[in-house]
Amino acid sequence: MKIRNIKTIISREYMTRVRKKSFLLTTFLVPVLFAAMCILPSVIMLMAKDSDKKVAVVDQSGIVMPYLADTESVDYTDYSTVPVDSMKASFESLGLDALVVISPIDSVAKTVSVSSYSAKPLTIELEEGVCSKVNDAVEDYRLAQYDISDLRQIMDSIKSDVSMSTYILGESGEEKITSSEVYMMISMVLSIIIYMFIAMFSGMVMQSVIEEKASRVVEVLVSSVKATELMFGKIIGVACVALTQFFLWIVLTLVLVGGFSAFVGFDSLMGDPAQTEQMMEMTAQMGGVDMAEMTASMQEQEGMGAVLNTLRDINWAQMIIAFVVYFALGYLLYASFFAAIGSAVENEADTNQLQMPVTVPLLLAFLIAIYAFNAPDSPVVWWGSMIPFTSPIVMLARIPFGVPMWELVLSIVLLVLTFIGCGWASAKIYKIGILMFGKKTTFKDLWKWLRQN
Amino acid sequence: MGLIQCNDVCKSFGEKVALDHVSVDIPKGKIFGLLGPNGAGKTTLIRIINRITIPNSGSVLFNDRPITQDDVEKIGYLPEERGLYRKMKVGDQAMYFAQLKGMSARDAARELKKWFVRFGIESWWNKKVEELSKGMAQKVQFITTVVHNPSLLILDEPFSGFDPVNAQLIREEILRLKDEGATIILSTHNMESVEELCDNIALINKSHVVITGGVDEIRRKYGNNNVELVYTGTALKPAAGVFDILSDNDDAGRHTAVLALESGYDTNKALREILLQDVTVNSFKELVPRMNDIFIKLVTEEE
């Protein structure tokens, strides 16, 4: 192997890719998307605030109005003295968005009925807000009918509000507050990115091998450099593209979100800056994760303390190192497989059959990883994180939940050994495959090439 | 001394034997024709010399010592199936190939500029290959083959895809490179260019070398002591013990005859004998077989 040749190959593979329009487009558009995902909820909240709903209330029961306190987005005005019909005719001209009419109390059922009138449909939020408050009023009214003294104090003392605090007992016996949702989330994000990156960029390697073979450039190339130099140069070049894209995504997202927040100045809305940053980082890494889940956890104000605690306690260094190591090794393993497959075919349409044994474990790894979000300690997940073909993805899903060092080391050693073996085998197939034209390659052929010298 | 010596090279792919104890000696500074029908093993031999394929047994010497991976920098290879990166710019691509052959970026740029000017294609530097016609791409490919000033050039069907004008340009370049000291292996089915360009040849058929040596020597060896005589006058009569007349075409008093010389190959004796008869000799020419005929004869004989 000549380092100079490999360098030349890497730089061509890298430069031709990062100069492509499609690369520039995805590199710059995805952060915009990520940033939009971070910024939009806040913007929506801001916008919602600006257009408060004004609601007129005609309370014929006389018990509900005190419960209808103004909220951030709705102003209630008491028009109980005005007749319903004339209100119906005039509420719009008074600049009101809706009219809510509460009937007199039905003395038998001890309840009221509520009707609303508006030019445009009411929001669910508003409807639910009114309903729950009317229910509160009716419940309190009914309770009052029992005429029990000190009822309020009794009710207050009965009311319970229990939330669970989760502790993990560390080796030294100290207790930590954790939030398992945070672990799940990080675990999910990590395994999705690593799966996406391995699949996407190994596929790119295969495509590029096929392109060189189909255009017959390869024969000139291997007359200048060794086939193994060409294969590994290509694999490393594409890996550099992957890392560049990943890095740019994070930086650009942070810049966009940071710039936007500074410009609009609503840090307060985004909450604690440290937490915002973590969130942004996670969002930057997500790529395709359900957005509802993201915003839900962002808005989840309760338990934020625990979340922050958890985030602070996570061994970020270990996680980042593990991410880089597992991405590198997993990608190397799969990219060398895909390079071998690419070398055996003459066009992409022929790859389907040969790809099967490689895509199946990759997909399986992803499925096990999804399972690991819920059951990180199950045997399937444990074995998945050890077996080299699934370990890069499954182990990353396990890591946020804590993995003993010896398991990490064992899994990495197995992965390295497998890569060496499979890389060698792939290089052998590649060397012969790239110069084979004409007949369609079968698994039998691959096996034959593997044994040839 | 040969620049390349292949000694007893054997190569098989599974059951199929591609080369069976092949030995060829490719002299330095000459053009060496590698001939043979399709599937005879020429490409395999070329790939072994290029170190793309490693032989099962036998050795390849480059400058009298076993060839190494470093030596491929001194080889320029134009494969029969041409190929360039379609989406890459011509200049970037040429730079890439030159650098893979061990040139520094600066040397590569300087040498490439020279070649682009010589071929009158400077304006293509920033074009993508997919914008070029097939012939244009071939020119670029030829440049990438020779830019690093290789001491050994391997050209597989170098004229295919070129129009007659450009084929002539390439022919002149090949001869110029030879004059500058390069050794050239020319693999082609075009026997005319073999006669025109090659000093030595090897004919490979069914995995082994059928014949190898100097072109003139081989042609003469397969010649059958015939001469072509054009004359005017009365019809020539055979001279016993000197020559026999195989055919005589009378075209209004101008005869074209093929004579088979006997008793060795004494042309002077034959001429003297002819002049004794009542004829005027217009031309007297040794009849050497065409490479084409030798090729067909040797290959069909083996069937």
Domain end call among B220, B235, B269: B220
Same domain, yes or no: B135 and B192: yes
- B194 to chain A nearest CA, in Å? 24
Sign (positive or negative) of CA dihedral A329, A331, A332, A337: positive
The pLDDT of residue A399 is: 84
Predicted pLDDT of residue A301: 45
Contact in structure between B198 and B218 (CB atoms under 8 Å): no
Q: Is A218 on the interface with B (CB under 8 A)?
A: yes
Residues B134 and B258 in one domain: no
| Residue B170 Rama label (left phi>0; alpha psi -120 to 50; beta) | alpha
Helices A227-264 and A21-50: angle between axes, nearest 10 degrees: 20
Show residues of chain A in contact with B50, CB under 8 Å: 223
A187 touches A398 (CB < 8 A): yes
Interchain proximity B83–A224, CB inside 8 Å: no
- Contact assignment for A220 to B96 by CB distance below 8 Å: no
Supply the pLDDT for residue A172.
54
What pLDDT does A288 receive?
43
ipTM entry: 0.82
- Pair of tokens at residue A78: 């008491």
Largest alpha-carbon pair distance within chain A? 99
Disruptive mutation site among B47, B51, B52 for chain A (greatest number of A CBs within 10 Å): B52
pLDDT at A331: 94
B208 min Cα distance to partner chain A (Å): 21
Domain interval for residue B260: 224-287
Q: Tokens 């010596």, residue?
A: B5
- Which residues in chain A have their CB less than 8 angstroms from residue B18's CB? none
Selecting from A2, A216, A224 the residue whose C-beta is nearest the C-beta of B81 gives A216
Do both B173 and B60 map to the same domain? yes
In the prediction, which pLDDT does A243 show?
A: 87
Residues of chain A with pLDDT under 70: 45-51, 72, 165-180, 264-314, 453
E-assigned strand segments in chain B: 2-13, 16-27, 31-35, 57-62, 65-66, 75-78, 152-156, 183-187, 200-205, 208-214, 226-233, 243-251, 254-261, 279-286
Q: Are residues B211 and B235 in the same domain?
A: no
Chain A residue closest in CA terms to B86: A215
Whole-angstrom distance, CA of residue B94 vs CA of residue B147: 9
Note whether B157 and B27 are same-domain residues. yes
With contacts defined as CB-CB under 8 Å, which chain A residues touch B145? 220
B175 and B249 part of one domain: no
Q: Which of residues 420-439 of A touch B (CB under 8 A)?
A: 435
Q: Inter-chain contact A218–B83, Cβ cutoff 8 Å?
A: yes
Q: Closest-CA residue in chain A for B51?
A: A223
Alpha-carbon span A297 to A274, nearest angstrom: 15
Chain B neighbors of A5, CB-CB under 8 A:
100
Residues B8 and B112 grouped into a single domain = yes
* Rama region for B291: left / alpha / beta (φ>0; ψ in -120 to 50; rest): alpha
For the structural domain made of A53-122, what CATH number should be given? 3.40.190.10
State how many domains chain B has.
2
How far apart are the C-alpha atoms of A305 and A313, rounded to whole Å? 12
Across chain B, which has 303 residues, the per-10-residue mean pLDDT values are 89 87 93 91 92 91 91 92 90 94 93 93 92 89 94 92 90 94 92 90 91 88 83 86 86 87 78 86 86 87 76
- Model pLDDT, residue B219: 86
Domain coordinates in residue numbering, chain A:
3-43+178-451, 53-122
- Please write down the long-range contacts of A138-142, taking CB distance under 8 Å and 24 or more positions apart: A138/A63, A138/A110, A138/A111, A138/A112, A140/A63, A141/A63, A141/A105, A141/A110, A142/A110
In a shared domain, residues B178 and B245: no
Mutating which of B57, B72, B99 best tests the A interface, going by the most A Cβ atoms within 10 A? Answer: B99
Sequence-distant (≥ 6) Cβ neighbours of residue A90 within 8 angstroms: none
Q: Do residue B160 and residue B274 come from a single domain?
A: no
> Taking CB atoms and an 8 Å cut-off, how many pairs form between chains A and B?
62
Q: Which two tokens stand for residue B68?
A: 């190494």
Give yes or no: residues B127 and B253 share one domain. no
Strands B243-251 and B254-261: antiparallel
- What is residue B212's DSSP assignment? E
For residue A204, the model assigns a pLDDT of 93
Rounded Cα distance between A131 and A136, Å, is: 9
What is the model's pLDDT at position B220? Answer: 82
Question: Are B69 and A221 an interchain contact pair (Cβ–Cβ within 8 Å)?
Answer: no
Nearest CA to A211 among B207, B100, B87? B87
Q: Which A positions 10-29 lie with beta carbon below 8 A of chain B? A: 12, 16
CB contact under 8 A, B97 and A220: yes
Helices (H), A215-272: 217-224, 227-264, 267-270
Q: Determine contact, residues A384/A391, Cβ cutoff 8 Å.
A: yes
Contacts within 8 Å (CB) and 24+ apart, B188-191: B188/B33, B188/B35, B188/B156, B188/B157, B188/B158, B188/B159, B189/B35, B189/B157, B190/B157, B190/B159, B191/B35, B191/B290, B191/B291, B191/B292, B191/B295
Of B53, B86, B145, the CB nearest to A215: B86
Which residues of chain B have a CB within 8 Å of the CB of A219?
A: 52, 77, 79, 81, 83
Q: B196 and B241, same structural domain?
A: no
Report the pLDDT value the prediction gives residue A179, as an integer from 0 to 100.
62
